[in-house]
Amino acid sequence: MVHAAEPGVTDTHIRLGMVNAQTGAASGLGRAMLDGATAVFQEANQRGGIHGRSIELVVADDGYDPDRAISETLRLVEEKQVFALFGNVGTPTTNAVIPIVQEMKVPLVGAFTGAMTLRRPVVHEIINFRASYDDESDALVQYFVSRGIKRFGVLYQDDGFGNAVLDGTVRALQRRGMQLVAKGAFQRGTTAVKAGLAALIGHDLQVVIMAGPYTPVAAFVREASQAKLKAALATVSFVGTDSLLQLLGTEGNNILISQVVPLPEERTLPIAAECADLLARHVPAARLSFVSFEGCISATLMVAALRRTGADLTRERLILSFETFDRLDLGGLQVTLRPGDHQASTAVFLTRIADGRIVPADLAPGAK
C-alpha cells in the first residue's frame, strides 16, 4: 500500500474541500454545484474509489462573501488538511483565494466563474472546466450584432464578476468596431437596481446585458418592465438559469442566456444522461439543472485526473495529469488542457426563456 505524505491523502481517503455559497442570495448556485459533485464522487466511491481511496468532500459556506471565502479556505487547508479545492462559486470569492492556493500550492478545480483572472495569465494551481466570461460575452454580442443590433448597455454587479462581464462585453464590441453606449451598476448582495436602471434609460438602447446572480437580475427585469425599457435583455450563465426561471416564470420570456453546458434535457448527449442518472441515484431530491450539470461535468473531470495520476497521489502530479488531457471525451463533450491553457472548454450554448421554459435561442418566439 502507498503511504502518501500529501495533506488530505491517506491509504483509504482523498479529502477534497468545497468553499462556496450554501446560504444567501447565491445559495442556489452553491447547492446545485454540490449536488452535481456529490453524485459523481459517491458513484466513484461505490465503484471502489480512486485506486482504492474514497473521496471525502468537506463543504464550507462562504455566503458569496470574499472575506468568508478566505477564512473558510484557510480553515479547510490548514485545519481540515484538504488535498485540493473543488467547485468554488463566484468571481470575487474565488479571486480572493488565489493567493492562498498559489502560496500553499493547493489545486483549485472547477470553479463556477468565467473570470479571466483565473485564466490569463495561467495560474498553475487553478484548473477551469467552463468557458470564460469573454467567451460568453462574445457569443451574446455576436448573436445580437448578426441581427443588426448596435446599441448595447450593461447592467453589472459592481465587483470582480460584474466587471469581468463588462470588460468582456466592451472587448467584444471593440472587436466589431463598436462601443458600449451605457452602463449601470448595483452592489453585490443587494437588489438595489433602480440606480443602475436609471443610468441605462434614455440612451435608446437595443439590448442590455445583465451581469448578476438570479435575485438582483430578476429584480432588474421587473423594474425594467415597469419603466418600459424597450431593450432586449440578456445575461451570462452565472445568473443561475433555473433559479432565475423560478423567480420570473413567463415574466422572463425572451431573455437570452448564454450557457457553458448544453441543455440538461438534451439526453442524447451521453454525459447528460449519465449525470441525470447519477443525480437520481445519489441525490434523489435534486434534478439536473444547468448548474448541477456543470458540477457533475467538473467532478467527472476531477475523477478522471485523479485516476490518471495513479496511486502515488500528490498535488503537483494531479496538476500535471490535468495538463495531459488532449481532446478527452467526457460523454460527448471534448476537453483539452495544456500547461499554457488551464481552461478545458470554450463551448458556449445560447438559450432563451420562452413560455416560461428554457429552449435553444433560435427556437424561442419573439426574437428581437
* Separation CA 20–CA 115 (nearest Å): 16
How close are the terminal C-alpha atoms of the chain, in Å?
A: 63
CATH value of 13-131+265-335 in 3.90.105.10, 3.30.70.20, 3.40.50.300, 3.40.50.2300: 3.40.50.2300
For residue 298 the three cell numbers come to 467538473
Q: What is the pLDDT of residue 267?
A: 82
- CATH code at 133-259+349-360: 3.40.50.2300
* Separation CA 19–CA 66 (nearest Å): 11
Look-up: residue for cell 439543472?
A: 289
Q: Which stretches of 268-350 are DSSP H helices?
A: 270-282, 290-309, 315-322
Q: What is the pLDDT of residue 268?
A: 84
Partner residues linked to 338 by β-bridges: 341
Q: What is the pLDDT of residue 25?
A: 84
108 near 20, Cβ under 8 Å? no
Q: What is the pLDDT of residue 312?
A: 95
Low-confidence ranges of the chain (pLDDT < 70): 1-4, 363-368
Q: What is the pLDDT of residue 4?
A: 46
**How many Cβ atoms sit within 10 Å of the Cβ of residue 79?**
8
- Smallest CA-to-CA distance from 247 within 157, 353, 348 is with 353
60 near 3, Cβ under 8 Å? no
Q: What is the pLDDT of residue 362?
A: 78
Spell out the domain ranges in the chain.
13-131+265-335, 133-259+349-360
Round the CA-based radius of gyration of the chain to a whole number and report it.
20
Q: What is the pLDDT of residue 294?
A: 98
Please enumerate in sequence order all residues whose Cβ is within 8 A of that of 300, keeping only pairs 6 or more positions apart, or say none: 40, 271, 275, 330, 331
For residue 288 the three cell numbers come to 439536473
* Separation CA 116–CA 220 (nearest Å): 26
Chain mean position to CA 340: 21
Q: What is the pLDDT of residue 238?
A: 96
